[in-house]
Chains A and B, each alone.
Chain A
Amino acid sequence: MSAIEKLKSNFPQSIIAIGNSAGQDYVLIKSEDLKKIALFLKNELGFEFLMDLTCVDYKGYPGREEKHRFEMAYQFYSFNNKERVRLKVPVEESSPSVASLASLWLSADWYEREVYDMYGIHFSGHPDLRRILMYEEFQGHPLRKDYPLKGRQPRIPERK
């Protein structure tokens, strides 16, 4: 029984969609159940490794105008079962916030700071949510689709 099937039987109410992208199974889950499902993945299914955590901004993406703007993507790996699973969580533009997984996987700490820095997603329960790449006085979040591509914010005045 694969991890996806176990998730399906244990959390039928939390799952919005199940799919496969480029050979990788994914589960789209409700944002409020993320912590619960992450705990289950770690403690019951043995996914001890959070490989990656990132975000996608779907603003202006064809055919998605009615859907949520952001989507979080979590890549888990189990060393013992040699199995991967991808969790996806919808994030609304009006309240860009999801639960932090930094208490479960330490690797989530800096990943979430990066997503906060680049996309402005807030992670409730994160121990130290600061910018990690850009400087503190930087305004906005540069990987959002509505941030100007060349929106440079010099820290010192430029020479003439």
Chain B
Amino acid sequence: MGLETAFGNSFFTSRIDSAINWARKYSFFQYPFVTACCGMEFMSVFASSYDIARFGAEFPRFSPRQADVLFVVGTVNEKLAPVLRRVYEQMAEPKWVVSFGVCATSGGFYDNYATVQGIDKIIPVDIYIPGCPPRPQAILDALTKLQEKVDKETVLKYKNRGENERN
């Protein structure tokens, strides 16, 4: 005897966007692209104190082909840039990117010969998280902001999209 039986043998209407976005935003499969010390804070979000599972995003997929959200956690240097680009391109749409910490966002204090000055020079980014490293609360805040963003999307966004429009 569950809640779903309360209305009897009935039905309800909704927009397809609302239904699909509702499903998407509460079931992110994320790919953790962890390169640096930010990863420690990222791990703590998975542990019981902060528990990212409350937001439905606790399940990391270590294949980009099965992931929805790419978490770029830490410094990305020029040597690594093609790898990150390739991981992003392997992800199936719909896909979102979170830039985690100042190094991924802007290069941080690594303004030198080796470091990419923000991953948005390589791939499009949806949410930026500031901090060096960000606190776990900031990560959960970013996740809820990403959920809000996903909620406003329309499924038609991905219709008939050519290679040139994708990035």
Chain A residues close to B by CB (< 8 Å): 133-135, 142, 147-156, 158-159
Contacts and interface: CB of A to CB of B under 8 A. Distances in A.
A154 B81 contact: yes
B120 A159 contact: yes
Contacts of A133: 79
Contacts, number: 43
Contact of B122 (A135, A148, A150, A156): A156
B79 A158 contact: no
B75 to A, nearest CB: 14
A-B pairs, top 9 by smallest CB distance, nearest first, are A158-B121, A142-B113, A135-B79, A151-B113, A156-B82, A155-B82, A156-B81, A156-B85, A155-B81
Tell me the interface secondary structure of chain A in the complex: loop
Given A155-B78, A155-B82, A156-B85, A142 B114 contact: yes
Interface of B: 78-79, 81-82, 85, 111-117, 120-124, 167
B82 A149 contact: no
21 contacts: A134-B79, A135-B78, A147-B113, A149-B112, A150-B113, A152-B78, A152-B115, A152-B117, A153-B78, A154-B121, A155-B78, A155-B79, A155-B81, A156-B82, A156-B85, A156-B122, A158-B121, A159-B120, A159-B121, A159-B122, A159-B123
Given A152-B116, A159-B121, A159-B122, 6 more contacts: A142-B113, A149-B112, A154-B121, A156-B82, A158-B121, A159-B167
Contacts of A147: 113
B85 to A, nearest CB: 6
A158 B119 CA distance: 10
Most buried by A among B85, B111, B114: B114
B121 A150 contact: no
Nearest to A154: B78
A134 B77 CA distance: 10
Contacts of A158: 121-122
Contacts of A155: 78-79, 81-82
A150 B111 contact: yes
A97 B104 CA distance: 38
Nearest to A149: B112
A87 to B, nearest CB: 29
Contacts of B79: 133-135, 155
Contact of A149 (B81, B113, B117): B113
Contacts of A150: 111-113
A137 to B, nearest CB: 10
B83 to A, nearest CB: 10
Given A135-B78, A158-B121, A158-B122, A148 B167 contact: no
A158 B85 CA distance: 11
Contacts of B114: 134, 142, 152
Nearest to A135: B79
A134 B120 CA distance: 22
A134 B124 CA distance: 25
